Structure 1
Amino acid sequence: MTALNPIITFLLQSQPLKTVSLAAAEPPHLSEQGITPTLQTLNSAFLILLAGDRHPEFAPAQTYLEKLATSPQWGDWAKFYLHSLQLITTELTQRCQQDPMLSDRFAQAATQLADQPTDETAIAEIIWSLFFPEGTGIWGQEAAQIAALRDKRTVKIDQLNPAPIQNPAKEILFTSNALLTVPLASADLANFDQSFRTQIDQTLQEPQLYWYDHPIPIGTRPENNEILYGLKNLNQAVAVERQRQPELSDKVNCVLSVSVTHKRLQTLGKLYLQGVLAAHEPLDHLKIFAFTEADTQTLIQQVLLPIVERCCPTDEAAELLSVLGVDGRYGRHYSFLKAIAALWQVFIDPDIKATFKIDLDQVFPQPELIEQTGASAFEHFQTPLWGATGQDATGQPIELGMIAGALVNQRDIHQGVFTPDVTFPSGGLSPDDYIFFSKLPQALSTEAEMMTRYQPESGLDGEAACLQRIHVTGGTNGILVESLRRFQAFTPSFIGRAEDQAYLLSTLTQSDRLGYAHAAGLIMRHDKEGFAQEAIAMAKVGKQIGDYLRILMFSAYAEALPADVDAIKALTNPFTGCFISHLPITVALLRFSLKVATLFAQGKSAEAAEFMRVGIPQLQECLDFTQGQPSPLQQVYEREQKGWQLFYRSLSEVEKALEAQADWAQAVQKVAQKVVHNCWVNPS
């Protein structure tokens, strides 16, 4: 770990961080007054050991951690830090052996930092060159970097889609996710019958199975209900479309995945949604279908397994098809909300040609879109870029079977819909930002990719040339069913953050490549800050911890793919690719420990303690999941890939049987239609 010592020493000396003196540390105890100081001392001891044996308190720090490792109260905490030291040492040693130039860069950085530079940008560039090279060379060169990234993302069109979306209301299956949890004590459930209230009481006695950033408590007030908010605004957007094109008489189909925190809510969630929708003004332009985990299991048992048993039997069918579901980490419901469109096309409506996902805190700002882009939301979907084929900047073939729009924050829309929702940070780095600072490449890709407008004089006219998108958001993106069924993209269920970014990775190992067409002007207004401030605040710690887990998960996921990691990074840099790190363990654990130290130094002891309580178990679980040859992560990925392959194969087989009017296939179709009908939550 010698290479790392000067970096940590510099950060501890030059930043507003002060490690606790180990010599003066009180013996650890579990009183309310003793917990927080012990946590601070644990984290300080870890950083001191990272600084190396030249630190005056190196020996006391080592003794402290080793002693606490035998403590019944503090053993798990101390072992986490001791294990982290071993993992960082091993990772750095292996990487320097694989890349001798990395050792030279560490030595060069140590020499540069020994001169005690004071310029924030200079310090950042030195340290980022080791841990976060994707961030180097951006500050002060924003315009040039934006132009370079646009060049990198440019696609030369060979053929526009000859049969683009014509009637979005009829041809697109809209999807979104609803996250539900048990009621708050103040919830008003008077509109629900006694049976429902009794089952809710029983649910409160169940263990919580899944955790989400900001689930909606059953019984929340209508004005704070994100589900109702999003659906009302989608309904209004469709009303505008009908005014512009009165011939569009079709109701828009909208599928919700209902992810819940407690098992009993898998059945109560749908009843709750039916009650909420019935109690408020009708959503006359929408047909809303809500799928819980129980519904997806019914699809597996009564629809998919009978197909597999008849057409492609395998003893692993039930296990493999369990990949279809909505409860669990975010990757699980995200994949479902894409895959459901293929099932819909085969069993429910062959006119469905695509699916498009929105988040329920996002709305189509129709007046601004029409005024400033010349097209309504649905008119943007009709672009022949969606489904075009061409060549990327390296000359490789690409099919733009996906589409991606952009976001504008509610507070900024008065400046215009092309106002980026993420802007370049101006400085003021925290110690952990010197290790990893994703806001910078995120702002770069937001400007370069999301804000691009097609103009003939720019060389990007949207006809002969366009942009492909790597950076996408969880909502405001879609995929053609034809591309979905051929490429069989999915997000692994272990992905709990940036499931939208992970979705593309599953296709990068194929000989031809699937890509996102940038839909210039397809912009949704992001309204979360307008009505969900409390949810944002509650999710703060969990979201930051998730950022560290994302580095570990994305890096291990890229390693598990049958493709060169450097090639994946070359394509996905700077933003998506920055989470695929060559030093993921070192970066994630340094960020965590430096963040904790910063919070303690700022006097935010309660937040620092919460950071450790929440973060250490999750980091340890993630480290265990991503280590080994093969790692548990790789095994899960390979099994889920087989599961999705079986899912799409079963659909193809039953589709052929339906075309031949086979009795068994028609029977299965009737079952599928019944399941879907039972998920309809706003029948007129």
Structure 2
Amino acid sequence: MQILNPIIKFLTQSQQPDSAPILPVELPDLSEQKDPNVVLKALNGAFLIVLAGESHPAFSQAHAYLDKLTSSPDWGNLAQFYDQSIKLITAELDQVCQQDPALQAKLQQVEKALATQPTDEAAISETIWSVLFPEATGIRGQEETCISQLREKRTVTIENLNPEPIQNPAKQILFTSNALLTTPLGSADLSDFDADFQSQLAEAAEEPQLYWYDHPIPIGVAAESNEILYGLKHLNAAVEFERQQHPEITDKVNCVLSVSVTHKRLQMLGKSYLKQALAASDPLEQLNIFAFTEADTDILIRQVLLPIIEHCCPRDEAADLLSVFGVDGRYGRHYSFLKAITAVWHVLIDPEIKATFKIDLDQVFPQAELVEQTGASAFGHLQTPLWGATGQDASGQPIELGMIAGALVNQRDIHKGVFTPDVTFPGAGLNPDEYVFFSKLPQALSTEAEMMTRYEPGTALDGEKACLQRIHVTGGTNGILVDSLRRFQPFTPSFIGRAEDQAYILSTFGQSERLGYAHASGLIMRHDKEGFAQEAIAMAKVGKQVGDYLRILMFSAYAEALSQSVGETKAVTDPFTGCFVSQLPTTVALLRFSLKVATLFHAGKPQEAIEFIDTGVSQLKDGLTFIQGEPSALQQTYEREQQGWQLFYEGLENVEKALQAGEEWALVVRKTAQQIVADCAVN
């Protein structure tokens, strides 16, 4: 661990007599201290001081303090977490440096490099990033060059455009989205709900929270702040716009919602709440909306999928394997469901469905601006023959662009034009934890290079002979063709709690053929979350940030579990998606957490710091346990879920053949599936 000492010491101690440290960390007089704020601040500070090494003047005191509190009835669990974290960081550094002498040499050079330019933020950040976050190095001051290089890396030479592109999105695309529900806000007016519903809500609020989402919808929130109503209303308006432009479009758009919840008891309340909220709002005459709760997916498994498997390809563990098909849990689970349900729809409900396209409910199609500034409406962009094209990537490898990805523009920026990036290059000035990990920088690079690319005739990227493949995608504004879905069988593992969209393609890496996203230039949605969901966003702020730390742990371990090497994965996914695949994931995640807590205490925000500790410690402990061992629980989960999805698609292929042959059992299964789907209609 000694090779890490200079970085922590540099961040937490003054480098010159007349200068303040980047983040002052000191231990107070702890002899008789009982104040929880002081104790928690001291525990977190002691952790950083021990990491700074024996040369820190408070090292012995910090070490003794941590050791003493590990046996405390009040603070033992937290002290043990910090103590164990030090051991995990030490073990990781020793192991990685032994495996990679070049990294060890870089770490050993850091102290000298930091000493030469102690006040130059740019030099300091580049030095620390070179060992802890190399994906950010070399971008600042070279933005345009990096954009050009990344576009070149993402270029696909097209050999064949899709000969049968989407012709009628309203009829051929199953639109999907996720409705994330949580317990009511303290200010919620619940008078419209009956006494029994209110009682169950109160009981749910007393349960431990199981899952954390970016901005879940609190039950009972005012209609104008309800993201579900907002998104569906605007999707309905977008379809109405298409009808006005093309009167020949008469089909209603089918839209599937996954109803996922933060607390277990809400599983039984979510669908009834959704029906009531929709009934009380303006009718959505252009949409057929179907909502699937965990109970509904369980019925589909028991009454449709298991009978198929039992008839075609019996497996003793089929029920367990197929449990991967569901909506409750971390983001990865419902994200995979919202793709996979389209294959079910195509085989058992409506064979006209050729693709799925997911939107987030805080995103809307700015139809008038799209037509004016890009020359096509949303449905027009979805008809691009790039979706389903084949060609060669920049390394000469064959690729099938069976997926499609659009972009976002922030609501506050749309007056500047739809091609205004929703993430821009950050200015000068770093928070202490950003010296360790600064994803905003590669994210901005990737946004500019991938999402903002425009195809223009006569240029290298004309959208006919060459286009971009996308690696950086958003949770909404992406889709996949049913044929590609069934052949490549991509999924996001259920342990992925953030960036489920980025993780989706990773499951296809290592296959003999390569699946990719076609960049749809001009397919842009307006991101409106800041305009109406501020209270929900604020409520989820801490959980979202902690989820970012877990993302490093999960993505790094997930990359290790894939059939191709981590180096090969990062070669494709860097700089943004791949930056969460770290060579030192435990070290980086725990440092980010501790530096963030210390920053909050230093800024005079003790309650927020304590909330960070309360939320973060339990989740990080669980995450660290999940990725350890050989094989780890993560690797076992990934392999089991991969088998589950293989069985899922094998069953669909078999029942499809049986339907084509007119076999009675298959006709019965199809009728059952159609009834279950009909029962999920909510408008």
Q: Per-residue displacement from partner, 1:248-299 (whole Å, max 9, x unpaired)?
A: 1000000000112344433432222222222222111100000000000000
Q: 1:575-594 residue pairs with structure 2 within 5 A?
A: 575-594=576-595
* 1:514 matches 2:520: no
Name the structure 2 match of 1:419: 420
* Aligned-pair CA distance for 1:631: 0.5
* Aligned-pair CA distance for 1:626: 0.7
* Aligned-pair CA distance for 1:337: 0.3
Name the structure 1 match of 2:99: 98
* Aligned-pair CA distance for 1:204: 5.5
* Aligned-pair CA distance for 1:206: 5.8
* Consecutive aligned runs of 4 or more in structure 1 exceeding 6 Å deviation: none
Please say if residues 182 and 218 of structure 1, whose CA atoms lie closer than 8 Å, have aligned partners that are also in contact: yes
Given residue 673 of structure 1, which amino acid in structure 2 is its aligned partner? Q
2: distance between equivalents of 1:71 and 1:205? 27
2: distance between equivalents of 1:522 and 1:462? 13
Given residue 330 of structure 1, which amino acid in structure 2 is its aligned partner? Y
Q: Per-residue displacement from partner, 1:404-425 (whole Å, max 9, x unpaired)?
A: 0000000000000000000000
2: distance between equivalents of 1:57 and 1:206? 41
2: distance between equivalents of 1:490 and 1:137? 33
* 1:73 matches 2:74: yes
* 1:400 matches 2:401: yes
Name the structure 1 match of 2:25: 19
Q: 1:31-46 residue pairs with structure 2 within 5 A?
A: 34-46=35-47
Distance 1:183 1:611, change over 3 A: closer
Given residue 94 of structure 2, which amino acid in structure 1 is its aligned partner? T
Q: Per-residue displacement from partner, 1:52-82 (whole Å, max 9, x unpaired)?
A: 1111221111111111111111111111111
Name the structure 2 match of 1:628: 629
Between 53-62 and 375-384, report the one with greater CA deviation: 53-62
Name the structure 2 match of 1:501: 502
* Aligned-pair CA distance for 1:185: 5.6
2: distance between equivalents of 1:194 and 1:3? 61
2: distance between equivalents of 1:270 and 1:13? 54
Distance 1:154 1:531, change over 3 A: same
Q: 1:119-198 residue pairs with structure 2 within 5 A?
A: 119-184=120-185, 187-189=188-190, 191=192, 196=197
Distance 1:296 1:439, change over 3 A: same
RMSD: 1.5
Q: Per-residue displacement from partner, 1:23-49 (whole Å, max 9, x unpaired)?
A: x224343xxxx1010111111111111
Please say if residues 117 and 124 of structure 2, whose CA atoms lie closer than 8 Å, have aligned partners that are also in contact: no
Given residue 27 of structure 1, which amino acid in structure 2 is its aligned partner? E
* Aligned-pair CA distance for 1:349: 0.4
* Aligned-pair CA distance for 1:157: 0.5
2: distance between equivalents of 1:112 and 1:188? 58
Q: 1:353-368 residue pairs with structure 2 within 5 A?
A: 353-368=354-369
* Aligned-pair CA distance for 1:195: 6.0
Unpaired runs of at least 5, structure 2: 15-20
Q: Per-residue displacement from partner, 1:96-135 (whole Å, max 9, x unpaired)?
A: 1111111111122211112243211111111100011100
Name the structure 1 match of 2:432: 431
2: distance between equivalents of 1:202 and 1:593? 33
* 1:4 matches 2:10: no
Q: 1:277-676 residue pairs with structure 2 within 5 A?
A: 277-676=278-677
Given residue 471 of structure 2, which amino acid in structure 1 is its aligned partner? I
2: distance between equivalents of 1:282 and 1:532? 22
Name the structure 1 match of 2:236: 235
Name the structure 2 match of 1:271: 272
* Aligned-pair CA distance for 1:16: 3.4
Name the structure 2 match of 1:87: 88
Question: Which SS does the other structure have where 1:214 is aligned?
Answer: coil
Given residue 311 of structure 2, which amino acid in structure 1 is its aligned partner? R
Question: Which SS does the other structure have where 1:355 is aligned?
Answer: strand
Given residue 255 of structure 2, which amino acid in structure 1 is its aligned partner? C
Distance 1:45 1:191, change over 3 A: closer
Question: Which SS does the other structure have where 1:506 is aligned?
Answer: helix
2: distance between equivalents of 1:429 and 1:286? 46
Question: Which SS does the other structure have where 2:400 is aligned?
Answer: strand
Distance 1:188 1:610, change over 3 A: closer
Given residue 305 of structure 1, which amino acid in structure 2 is its aligned partner? L
Question: Which SS does the other structure have where 1:456 is aligned?
Answer: coil
Between 251-260 and 586-595, report the one with greater CA deviation: 586-595
Please say if residues 363 and 526 of structure 1, whose CA atoms lie closer than 8 Å, have aligned partners that are also in contact: yes
Question: Which SS does the other structure have where 2:269 is aligned?
Answer: helix
Question: Which SS does the other structure have where 1:497 is aligned?
Answer: coil
Unpaired runs of at least 5, structure 1: none
Question: Which SS does the other structure have where 1:429 is aligned?
Answer: coil
Please say if residues 216 and 540 of structure 2, whose CA atoms lie closer than 8 Å, have aligned partners that are also in contact: no
The TM-score with structure 1 as length reference comes to 0.97
Please say if residues 212 and 543 of structure 2, whose CA atoms lie closer than 8 Å, have aligned partners that are also in contact: no
Given residue 356 of structure 2, which amino acid in structure 1 is its aligned partner? T
2: distance between equivalents of 1:27 and 1:181? 41
Given residue 678 of structure 1, which amino acid in structure 2 is its aligned partner? D
Question: Which SS does the other structure have where 2:588 is aligned?
Answer: helix
Please say if residues 20 and 40 of structure 1, whose CA atoms lie closer than 8 Å, have aligned partners that are also in contact: no
Given residue 621 of structure 2, which amino acid in structure 1 is its aligned partner? Q
Q: Per-residue displacement from partner, 1:586-636 (whole Å, max 9, x unpaired)?
A: 111111111111222222222222211111111111001011111110011
The count of aligned residue pairs is 677
Between 551-560 and 39-48, report the one with greater CA deviation: 39-48
2: distance between equivalents of 1:75 and 1:279? 51
Please say if residues 435 and 587 of structure 1, whose CA atoms lie closer than 8 Å, have aligned partners that are also in contact: yes
Q: 1:216-231 residue pairs with structure 2 within 5 A?
A: 216-231=217-232
1: distance between equivalents of 2:71 and 2:235? 57
Q: Per-residue displacement from partner, 1:302-350 (whole Å, max 9, x unpaired)?
A: 0000111111111100100000110111111000000000000001100
2: distance between equivalents of 1:204 and 1:606? 21
Between 5-14 and 45-54, report the one with greater CA deviation: 5-14
Please say if residues 88 and 586 of structure 1, whose CA atoms lie closer than 8 Å, have aligned partners that are also in contact: yes
Q: Per-residue displacement from partner, 1:497-534 (whole Å, max 9, x unpaired)?
A: 10100101101121111100000000000000000111
